[in-house]
Structure 1
Amino acid sequence: MPDMPQTPASAEASASPEAPETDAAARFDAKAAAWDTSPHRRKLTADIIAAMDRAGVFREPVGDALDFGCGTGLLTLELSRRCQRVTGLDFSAGMLAALDAKIEAADLQNVATILADLAAGDPFPGRYDLVTSAMVLHHVPDLAPVLTRLFGALQKGGRLALADLDAEGGAFHDDNEGVHHFGFDRLELADTLAGLGFADIDAATAATIEKPAKCGTVRPFTVFLMTAKRP
């Protein structure tokens, strides 16, 4: 089990001494204050947690969890109710500041944060029993190196739980700046995970989001939950 970072500040220091701001991080920093006001994000979080329950992610006690791309911590805080310890990792200082404020306000002793950009190679401490992400992968330019790092972050027998959009052709986001994948083909993503060494790979629909597409009509977009295990 990993040692929990003692404070958000100490975790940030151990992850990256300066953690330089990128354009992508700046975009998310600017969105942080209003992020939680979106009703669909809160519903999506509840749907993803319910899908994890159905998939048996919490059937056995989870000691240490890592929430990759945690943002303001909507999923992180749900995990804190189901896991002994949880660490939220993100490359946006603004998003983590919002999560740190929630942690302090609720006096949560089992939640910590790390400022790090895995795609840029930033180090991060610990080995985990569960690694999660929600609606993060489509913002990652090159998936394989990041998924490889998440594989390495898992304890043997640890679980991976990834939630993201099914292939959608670029209609989901109003602005596709910073969107590197227009959703994913489940079989192709499963093949990628298998090639990296993951086993027991499974996927199911976790949620459906209905929103106006660019043409003006309301369109349903499905979100999958893909689970896997490090042998």
Structure 2
Amino acid sequence: MRADYDALLASQRMSAAQLPYADYAYLRLLFEATRDGGYWNLHWAITDREPNSDAIWAQWRSLRGATPTGITATVECDELSALYAFLARRGGVRNVGLFWPTSNHTVAVWRIASTPRETRIVVPTTQIFLTQSDSFGTRGFDPWTQAKIYEYGRRDIADDARVPPALVAFFLAQNDKYARASGLSLQHMRQLRDGVLDGSLGADQAARQAQAQRDRIAASAVDDRNAYAHFIRDLQTSTRAP
């Protein structure tokens, strides 16, 4: 993650004082978990719901458990972006809001104070209208086409609400497996996971492709290889499940 952070600082021409690593690390971890096909297993579909995360929390609260190849919530782009912005603020990072690059699509944007004007970092919660390589900080959308990016301040769920312990355990386990991997490896695994979640790719097929990708990673990239090992093992286990 540190290499990805350094690359973002360079591309945005910002200093570590302007963009603290702790804020970046939290938002990047949150992005990889909650994006479409991310490792919390949210899956995009047209829902025609309002741009908030209420329905996500309702789906999560109804789950008795989760599996590495099962969908935890089915949501649209604006709901994903609202969830991201909501959890960003709850995690202590301010000025994350919603951006409409087109009239029918929503992503998140992180605003950071800088001169001569603020910096806007696009957080693409889906790959819609983007390439498969676009990720955190993409230039695929111009956030300045929207005059104002307002911080998402809505409280989508009560502070005392409860999520099933088995789901929380699943989310934390997924964080442990993938949080230290590079953005590039997480992007490749996301593509495979998304195929499994939408049914276009079998878990066994995804496991074979993931193994081929892992075999091309240098032995020195221990965190990436470990993340892939977890991913492959979970896919293989799911194919053996009754």
TM > 0.5 fold call: no
Which has the larger share of strand?
1
Which has the larger share of helix?
2
- Normalised by the length of structure 1, the TM-score is 0.28
